[in-house]
């Protein structure tokens, strides 16, 4: 009889009442048992796999560290590529040639750097050294295969520069501190803060238009009837790695 009821219910696409009753009574404890088994299985799996997971964790941590280092290297190289592209974009005057060089030494106290090109490459004293973002300095000493470069942040340097704008103001720029240049200009023309400062071209060695920095302050020097302009250099000297010399 039970079989007939069951068959009839199935033919109607339903479960028979007895099955429904049994499943209704059994489902709650079965759920508890099922959950307990599931948690137990997970716990045992965790215990069983602990060693493997620990090793996997160590390996992934090492891989992550490797990836970070790789990314840092990638970023650094990308920065160098960008800098080289910018340097490459600089169009030298027809009579001048670019000699690319690597910085092989730095003397922050003396405001100078050493590059791996020298007299054998046609490098001479006073030639300008340029990086992607602007003027680095001038050659101070040219040995056979290396040269010392006096940075624009050096108080000893004197370069003819121009503040771009209307009118164009020309003066002599020299280093004041590691992050500040000082430029003396005659007259009382107003100087706008933020104006770009470039090389003036009034020089046998340094062509016009090479970026130096931007004006950050302007002070009147009434005693001499002149104006002193302070300039933020375009370059951060510590971040330089590739430069070129305009010979």
Partner 1 sequence: MSRIRPFLTLFFAFWLGAALQLAAAPHMTIAGAAPDILLIVALSSAVFFQPTIGAVLGFVGGLLHGGVAGADTSSLTISSTLVSYAAGYVSRLDLDVRPWYVGLVVLAGTVVSHLLLMIPAPPPETWPYLRATIVAAMYNGVLAIPLYALMRRTLRPKVN
Chain residues binding partner 1 by CB under 8 A are 2-3, 6, 15-16, 18-19, 21-23, 25-27, 29-34, 37, 41
Q: What is the DSSP string of 143-176?
A: -SS-EEEEETT-TT--EEEEE-SSS-EEEEEEEE
| 25 versus 74: smaller Cβ distance to partner 1 | 25
Nearest distance from C-beta of residue 59 to partner 1, angstroms: 32
Task: Kindly tell me which of 7 and 73 has the beta carbon lying closer to partner 1.
Answer: 7
Q: Are residues 199 and 207 in contact, defined by beta-carbon separation less than 8 angstroms? A: yes
Find the shortest distance in angstroms from Cβ 11 to partner 1.
Answer: 14
Q: Distance between CA 65 and CA 212 in Å, rounded?
A: 39
Q: CA 132, 174, 161, 191: dihedral to nearest 10 degrees? A: 110
Q: Choose between 30 and 64: whose C-beta lies nearer to partner 1.
A: 30
Q: Directed axis angle between helix 2-11 and helix 17-89, to 10°?
A: 40
Nearest to partner 1 of 23, 80 (CB atom): 23
6 vs 189 by CB, closer to partner 1: 6
The least distance separating partner 1 from the CB of residue 74, rounded to whole angstroms, comes to 49
Q: Where do runs of H (alpha helix) occur along the chain?
A: 2-11, 17-89
Q: What b/e string do you get for 4-13 counting C-beta neighbours within 10 Å, with b at 16 or more?
A: eeeeebeeee
Instruction: Tell me whether residue 1 or residue 91 sits nearer to partner 1 (CB atom).
Output: 1
Query: What is the nearest approach in angstroms of partner 1 to the Cβ of residue 10?
Result: 9
Local structure of 104: helix, strand or coil: strand
Least distance CB 26 / partner 1 (angstroms):
4
Least gap, CB of 39 to partner 1 (angstroms): 12
- CB neighbourhood size of 41 (10 A): 10
Rounded to 10 degrees, what is the CA torsion of 212, 216, 218, 224? Answer: -40
Nearer to partner 1, 15 or 160 (CB): 15
- Smallest distance, partner 1 to C-beta of residue 12, A: 15
């Amino acid at each position: 009889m039970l079989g007939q009821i069951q068959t009839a219910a199935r033919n109607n696409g339903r479960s028979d009442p007895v099955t429904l009753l049994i499943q209704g009574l059994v489902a709650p404890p079965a759920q508890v048992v099922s959950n307990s088994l599931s948690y137990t299985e997970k716990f045992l799996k965790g215990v069983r796999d602990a060693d493997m997971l620990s090793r996997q964790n160590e390996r992934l941590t090492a891989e992550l560290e490797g990836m970070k280092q790789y990314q840092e290297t990638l970023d650094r190289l990308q920065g160098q590529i960008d800098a080289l592209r910018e340097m490459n974009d600089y169009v030298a005057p027809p009579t001048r040639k670019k000699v690319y060089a690597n910085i092989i030494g730095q003397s922050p106290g003396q405001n100078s750097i050493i590059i791996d090109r020298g007299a054998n490459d046609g490098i001479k004293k006073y030639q300008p050294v340029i990086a992607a973002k602007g003027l680095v300095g001038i050659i101070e000493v040219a040995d056979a295969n290396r040269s010392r470069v006096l940075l624009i942040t050096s108080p000893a340097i004197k370069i003819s520069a121009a503040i771009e704008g209307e009118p164009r103001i020309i003066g002599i720029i020299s280093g004041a501190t590691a992050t500040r240049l000082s430029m003396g200009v005659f007259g009382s023309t107003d100087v706008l803060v933020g104006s770009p400062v470039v090389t003036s071209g009034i020089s046998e060695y340094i062509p016009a238009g090479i970026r130096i920095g931007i004006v950050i302050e302007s002070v009147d020097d009434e005693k001499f009837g002149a104006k002193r302009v302070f300039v933020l250099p375009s370059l951060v000297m510590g971040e330089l790695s590739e430069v070129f010399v305009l010979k």
